[in-house]
A and B are shown apart, each in its own frame.
Chain A
């Protein structure tokens, strides 16, 4: 996409501003003369660098700081600290210790204040890590910081790295999937809850997992009509409470249904749905038209692992994790010494478990650097908390995922 005449911009992480001009880009873009370069490069040496300031990254930073690590750098490509928490207006489930009953946005503010109050944590926003190199003594990360006076190249040398980069939304392939009005559910949530912009007037939600259900409800709260939710599986994937809330508002949920195509002249004008049989094949003759101006795709997430791959961490495809993940031990260390992973990058799960994994990674990284205050006791506590979360009926998938990861870690892939 082209934003204000600058081509190749990732609109998903570009802050929305008044009078911003977002245009389609056809293949190679042309750089405007206005694009500035920063000729000054910067070099930073730190003890721990944390990539991603979502729940996992923030907790890792806070925990490592508590252990006494003198210099921690928290890097995030967005302009706000908090990752996906900043757009979550709903309350969390789980135990009180992991902030159940707190709204995501309140939690983001609370944790951000903690991060900002600690002198040993430096946070660097609007900064993307573009490459990672595994050195003998240090790990080297190359970052690009987006400044008003132009992008700046920053070289970060760190003894330890924690990757808490989260996940990417899955897309679907159907005719018309590039029409304006086809959104990822996360994108819709950002537009609505961060910027106060309605994505459209009438929405078709694809996917009845927690994201699909929660975003549908939040659309209703914002005064947007949600026509229906369709789910390809014969069963609703998300929590019953979320589904029940939607049903009480009169939004039907069609299980065993999928989207066949989206039609419209230059923008979404409607969609064609189709019923799905037991072997996930469309049933001919069951097509039905739905008129809508927005199609919202909430069909799962894929862990972001490209930086982990670059630094040399071993990855493995695990279906329950949502795709390829970096395999790690019970202290969240990857196959590269001093490189840790936490949160959705280590398998798609929830904010609460991401926070605990962040704490675990923070303790482990601090321990490696010699700051091992009560480390064993704390690690035990966090592992127990994770076990608790994964023992419920919705914990089965992450539990299997982590068992498979443990199995890979131990050298076997024949789970």
Chain B
């Protein structure tokens, strides 16, 4: 039986780990991303960011509007370096 609550499936992050990081002072999504790799896996935060945002709201007494999403950067899906470095025209 799994009693863990998963927030970020790609990076195997649980609700508990995120709450602990918030208690340690990482109180923005960007900081949580730097600390825990939240939303940095193959799906690039498709499911976890809004779940993590909800936890942040509860723990920091903020509204959803007050929490900014981490900036979106390319590539949005995993790409092999071989493909990125392709040079033949």
Contacts and interface: CB of A to CB of B under 8 A. Distances in A.
Main SS at interface, chain A: mixed
Contacts of B15: 173
Q: Determine which residue in B48, B51, B54 has the highest number of CB atoms from chain A within 10 A of its CB, and name it.
A: B51
A10 B43 CA distance: 7
B2 A179 contact: yes
Interface residues on chain B, size class:
35 or more
Contacts, number: 111
B44 A306 contact: yes
A265 B88 contact: no
B5 A173 contact: yes
B47 A131 contact: no
Nearest to B73: A310
Interface stretch (A34-42, A238-246, A393-401): A34-42
Contact of B1 (A37, A132, A151, A263): A263
A35 B80 contact: yes
A234 interface: no
Contact of A152 (B7, B11, B65, B86): B86
Contacts of A35: 80
A264 interface: yes
A178 B76 contact: no
Contacts of A173: 5-7, 15, 51, 54-55
Contacts of B88: 39-41
Interface string A319-340: 1000110000000000000000
A27 interface: yes
Contact of A309 (B5, B6, B43, B71): B71
B50 interface: yes
Nearest to B11: A27
A176 interface: yes
B21 interface: no
A269 to B, nearest CB: 9
Contacts of A41: 86-89
B80 A317 contact: no
B83 to A, nearest CB: 4
Interface residues on chain A, size class:
35 or more
Interface in A121-156: 128-132, 142, 144, 150-153
A176 B3 contact: yes
Interface string B32-74: 0000000001111011101100110000000011000101111
Interface string B1-40: 1111111010110010000000000000000000000000
Contacts of B43: 10
A39 B86 CA distance: 5
Nearest to B64: A317
B86 A130 contact: no
Contacts of B6: 173, 177-178
A20 to B, nearest CB: 18
Given A10-B43, A178-B2, A264-B1, A323 B50 contact: yes
B36 to A, nearest CB: 13
A177 B13 CA distance: 12
16 contacts: A10-B42, A10-B77, A37-B80, A37-B83, A41-B87, A128-B76, A128-B77, A131-B75, A131-B76, A142-B74, A170-B47, A171-B51, A173-B54, A177-B6, A264-B1, A306-B72
Given A39-B87, A153-B86, 10 more contacts: A8-B41, A10-B77, A35-B80, A144-B75, A151-B79, A168-B46, A173-B5, A175-B2, A179-B2, A310-B73
